[in-house]
Amino acid sequence: MIEPRLRNHVLHSRSAHATSQGAFAALNVLQSIEHPADQALGLACALKYVAKACGHHPTELLALVDRMEADCRFREVNTLSAVAKYADEEIGKKLR
């Protein structure tokens, strides 16, 4: 097995706040792409190759975000739900 370039303890030490900042930055850039399918596929392509470059599988990163989201719900903070709401309002509006 190849040693991950971005070690697990580094990923698991990141905060939901830092994660949300990256997500908001990515969503802001996605808004400049006209078609929602191109937005979704472009983001998926970026996730695949960024994860690979860091030595991880994309599903590992998605699972970590799921755990962060559950932790935010447990602590009753809206850090990642704000990202979900923003994505729905800004990206999802093109589908309505």
78 within 8 A of 72, measured Cβ to Cβ? yes
Residue with tokens 């704000």: 82
Q: Which pLDDT score is estimated for 27?
A: 95
Separation of alpha carbons 34 and 95, rounded Å: 11
Helices (H), 13-57: 16-30, 36-53
pLDDT tens column, 36-45: 999 999 999 9
pLDDT tens digits, one per residue of 58-95: 999 999 999 999 999 999 999 999 999 999 998 888 88
The residue extents of the domains of the chain are 17-95
